[in-house]
Chain A
Amino acid sequence: MMRFNETLKWLAILDDETIVKEENSKFSELDDKNIKLFRLYSTKNGKEYDFDIGSDRKLIFTRRNMISQNSKEIIVICGWYEGDYMNVTFIFKDGSYVIKEEWEEGTVYSKVI
């Protein structure tokens, strides 16, 4: 059974209103200078998380995987930074989430490189 955060896919709405979906694109092909809004949406229950990016913010997105004996956990990490300020949401397998405004090294909230 897929856990909630494994059902999250992304789409990006660009400045010219073009919609780029994960199903048809690679994240590395996105030019974050042109992203107006970045959205995570659940393919299971339609729940959405919107992140306003715009021209001044830099997008942060990754799936943090922890693999060990016969198990795999994923935390979906998404948000942005602008200068010294950041706002990043960590979404867990049960759908709960935590918002951080600074990285916390030595925890699951450590920096995304």
Chain B
Amino acid sequence: MVATVNIFTDFGGSDGNPSNEQNISSNSPVHLRFKTADNNTVDSVDEIKIPETGTNRSYWKHVYLKITGGTFSRINNIKFYTGGTNFGTGITMNVGNETPTKNSNSNSGYVVASGTRGESGDEIVANHGGISAKTEVFGNYTLGTPKSISISESGGQLDSVNETSDYLVFQMDVGSTATKADLSNKTWTFQYDEV
């Protein structure tokens, strides 16, 4: 009677053609870790080092909703929001303002993450062709001001298994004022309407 909806990430491969599509819910208890490598492994490898000056960045991550099963008519009105509390001084989590195209037939909005593994990812606005601006997530996207996620499936809604939302593209920036730590986990929420 209801859809089974999971949150996925694409990585690897080439522009428009990711080599991996993984359900981040399979990572437990932490679902997503920002790191200086393009993968979906939650571990302490390829950490983001605190720079002496300037900014180090994670590799960016493409995240989206995907219907994996169930019986339903349609899903729309997809939104994303945070709990509003950030990671602290020197650490900024951004999301691209645009939601590049992703659907059950196309990954055309996908741009493979780039950078120097173990050091820093490339900055998202300058290097992701589908992102022209970015916004810090914790201060701007909360329950009261969520970010809408577009849908590029037929009819502008999800009505079949394997259909997806478009991409959200995230990147974490770490500046020289950050304090070395294993940061506490944050909870992000995806909201959608289903009949």
Contacts and interface: CB of A to CB of B under 8 A. Distances in A.
Interface string A56-73: 000001111111111000
A28 interface: yes
B1 A26 contact: no
A99 interface: no
B64 to A, nearest CB: 13
Interface of B is mostly: loop
Contacts, number: 63
B145 interface: yes
Interface stretch (B37-45, B71-79, B88-96, B106-114): B71-79
Interface in B51-99: 71-74, 76-77
Chain B residues touching A, range = 20 to 34
A4 B61 CA distance: 36
Interface stretch (B115-123, B131-139, B161-169, B185-193): B185-193
Chain A residues touching B, range = 20 to 34
B143 A26 contact: no
A19 interface: no
A107 B143 contact: yes
A77 to B, nearest CB: 8
Nearest to B75: A65
B187 to A, nearest CB: 5
A68 B145 contact: no
A107 B143 CA distance: 6
B5 A67 contact: yes
B178 interface: no
A113 B193 contact: yes
B34 to A, nearest CB: 15
B77 A113 contact: yes
